[in-house]
Chains A and B, each alone.
Chain A
Amino acid sequence: MAAIKEVERLDTDEGGMGYLQSLPRRVVTVYLPLLVFLIVLLFPFYWMTITAVKPNVEMTDYVNYNPFWVVHPTLEHIRYLLFETSYPGWLLNTVIISTAATFLSLAAAVLAAYAIERLRFSGARQVGLAVFLAYLVPPSILFIPLSVMVFNLGLYDTPFALILTYPTFLIPFCTWLLMGYFRSIPFELEECALIDGATRWQILTKIVLPLSVPGLISAGIFAFTLSWNEFIYALTFIQSSEKKTVPVGVLTELVRSDVYEWGALMAGALIGSLPVVVLYSFFVEHYVSSMTGAVKE
């Protein structure tokens, strides 16, 4: 029986040569390190969650309570966060800004990627390279001149300051990703449509876009996450408390003087992470493909 099984596995080539290893060896080389990796990578999330529901008494009393567990879980920190701070407003701001920036960038990126990849105007290759280089320009060297511009344009302390500046890192990324997707669509489809008298715009909206929905979702999810996580522009361009985004609000408004409200801080961090985590869990494959796709090209 064992021999037959071995042959079957060889035929399918599924697990590679894993069957050559004995179980104890696999435990030491694979399962044990994996367990350690998982514990280290997930511990901060566990710690965030447990602190968010811990009463203040237990939080600082390590003698009578085991810090790794919570005896009397409480929703007090979350209630405080949602009803006595501007947190819901920050959430709403972040949703609006991220959605607007994502759609703006996607629209611009679809047109640009189609032009570079399919219209092949003269200089398309150079423009494609320029787009890639634009992706490598980090926000850390742009925020000072951008703050001057934002101020002069009268955008300071408005959501438009962020909606218009986030595309600087979203468009290059989305364009680059969509170029890869458009490349995989056969030319013949477009040629047929051209012969049938379709305009370029019709080809884009009726043939190319429906075929690249997975690419659009990948780019959209990734762009949304990037805008949600953005920090340095939001910190520099927004001043009023009620206009802040979640990452900036939690850091600058919930940390007061010397008394750190650790419970509320952790609840804020947890709830601020939830939307992107939920989105991510629905579209894991798209997310991974966009991340690796951007690197692979």
Chain B
Amino acid sequence: MAVPSVAVQRPPSILSRLAESRNALGLGFMLPAAALLLVFLTYPLGLGVWLGFTDARIGRPGIFIGIENYQYLWSDSVFWLSVFNTLLYTISASILKFVLGLWLALILNENLPFKSFFRAIVLLPWVVPTVLSAIAFWWIYDSQFSILSWALQQMGLIDHRINFLGDPTNARASVIAANVWRGIPFVAITLLAGLQTIPQSLYEAATLDGASRWQLFRHVTLPLLTPIIAITMTFSVLFTFTDFQLIYVLTRGGPVNATHLMATLSFQRGISGGQLGEGAAIAVAMIPFLLAAILFSYFGLQRRRWQQGGGD
């Protein structure tokens, strides 16, 4: 009994008071993560913006040249082509991923045998490294030995081989198809998780009221799924917009820059070409688009919460 009374009488030391303080402790616990993120994420973000205003090259720190990089890009048709390509790529791939992903999610949400097995298999394209699956697509799209061309020829649908990656229009369609292939599982599985939270009783009630299958989907499934659709598609759009790997493997931006995205152009000018300042300027030019996408989904979600009467 003597021990606790001694402890009470002694005034707490500075160290033990620090250990009690939430703020001091919180700071200590945050330190490793904060240090890594500040040094390798926040600082480079600022450095990137600064580099965009300099004429830095590899091996030579640049000097401040104002908005010269941006002026140059403004009059550079290749840059504008890459902006157009990025928007085309993002919008068409996202729409396809959304429609096909939602469809797949609805199918998987049916009462299927081996449901968890199917779900596990469906996610495979998303699990394997993008570069490695892109190499498989490269072989599938080969100009001479494409298995797709061969199969279509055997079926008598086409009479000569398709030049998948050599023709601007085909190349765009091919990279979008490969991106959609990889993106469908992510959309499908996250939307499936959302679908599983919708109570069956709502469907039964609606069916008793005489709703058709389309009406069930339109007035029960879709409204309840909207929040998760918004978040899933925000992620999907962000990842598609900043895509680099797929293009780098399949076309490197060719033919005649028809598939150059802003990320690949930034790499080509900044790293391969050594013009760090110009590459950084292209990367910085992506930020407004990303912010627009984030704000769009953020305020979209806010509106929904408000409609549903939720605070916070």
Residues in A lying within 8 Å of B, measured CB to CB: 13-18, 20, 26, 30, 33-34, 37-38, 40-42, 44-45, 47-48, 51, 59-60, 62, 67-68, 104, 107-109, 111-112, 114-116, 119-122, 124, 127, 131, 134, 136-149, 164-165, 167-168, 171-172, 175, 199-200, 225, 228-229, 231-232, 235-236, 246-248, 250-251, 262, 265-266, 268-270, 272-273, 276-277, 280-281, 284, 287-288, 291-292, 295-296
Which of B22, B104, B207, B249 counts the most chain A CB atoms within 10 A?
B22
Report, as a range, how many residues of chain B touch the other chain.
35 or more
In the complex, are the beta carbons of A144 and B27 less than 8 A apart? Answer: no
B95-116, CB < 8 A from A: 100, 103-104, 107-108, 110-112, 116
Q: Looking at the complex, which one of B29, B47, B108 makes contact with A149 (CB distance below 8 Å)?
A: B47
- Give me 13 A-to-B residue pairs in the complex whose CB atoms sit less than 8 angstroms apart, sorted by A's number: A15-B111, A34-B104, A34-B108, A44-B125, A44-B136, A109-B33, A111-B32, A144-B51, A148-B47, A164-B40, A266-B136, A291-B186, A296-B228
Report B154 CB to chain A, min CB distance, Å. Answer: 9
Contacts A37-B104, A111-B30, A171-B33 given: A142-B44 contact, CB under 8 Å?
A: yes
Contact yes or no, B245 A250, CB < 8 A: no
The answer on a CB contact under 8 Å between B200 and A124 is no
Given A17-B204, A144-B271, A44 and B266 contact (CB-CB distance below 8 Å): no
Once the chains bind, are A167 and B133 in contact (CB under 8 Å)? no
B242 within 8 A of A: yes
Q: Tell me which of B111, B116, B130, B136 contacts A16 (CB under 8 A).
A: B111
Q: Are B41 and A141 in contact (CB under 8 A)?
A: no
| B25 adjacent to chain A (CB < 8 Å) | yes
Residues of B within 8 A of A231 (CB): 129-131, 244-245, 248
- For B25, give its contact among A68, A143, A200 (CB under 8 Å): A200
Residue from B33, B128, B185 within 8 A of A111 (CB atoms): B33
Give a binary string over B45-76; 1 marks a CB under 8 Å from any A CB, 0 the rest.
10110010000100000000000000000000
Can you add 10 more A-B contacts, CB < 8 Å, to A114-B29, A171-B33?
A17-B203, A17-B204, A44-B125, A48-B139, A134-B37, A140-B244, A232-B245, A251-B131, A287-B127, A291-B189
B225 interface hit (Cβ, 8 Å)? no
Residues on B with beta carbons closer than 8 Å to the beta carbon of A107 = 32
Query: Cα distance A124–B29 when bound, in Å?
Result: 12
Whole-angstrom CA separation of A165 from B123 in the bound complex = 27
Whether the pair B129, A121 counts as a contact (CB closer than 8 A) is: no
Q: Please give, as numbers and ranges, the residues of chain B lying within 8 Å of A145 by CB-CB distance.
A: 44-45, 47-48, 51, 280
CB-defined contacts of B162 to chain A, threshold 8 Å: none
Chain B binding surface, main DSSP class: helix
Task: Check B124 against A108 for contact (C-beta < 8 Å).
Answer: no
CB distance from A181 to the nearest CB of B (A): 16
With A144-B51, A266-B139 given, is the CB distance from A14 to B111 under 8 Å?
A: yes
Once the chains are docked, how many angstroms separate the CA of A121 from the CA of B27? 8
**Which A residues are CB-close (under 8 A) to B145?**
59-60, 62, 67
- B306 contacts partner chain A, Cβ-Cβ < 8 Å: no
- For residue B120, CB closer than 8 A to chain A, the reply is yes
Which residues of chain B from 284 to 301 have a CB within 8 Å of any chain A CB? 284, 286-287, 290, 294
**5 pairs of A and B residues whose beta carbons are closest in the complex:** A121-B26, A15-B111, A115-B29, A138-B242, A112-B33
Q: Which residues of A contact B280 (CB under 8 A)?
A: 144-145
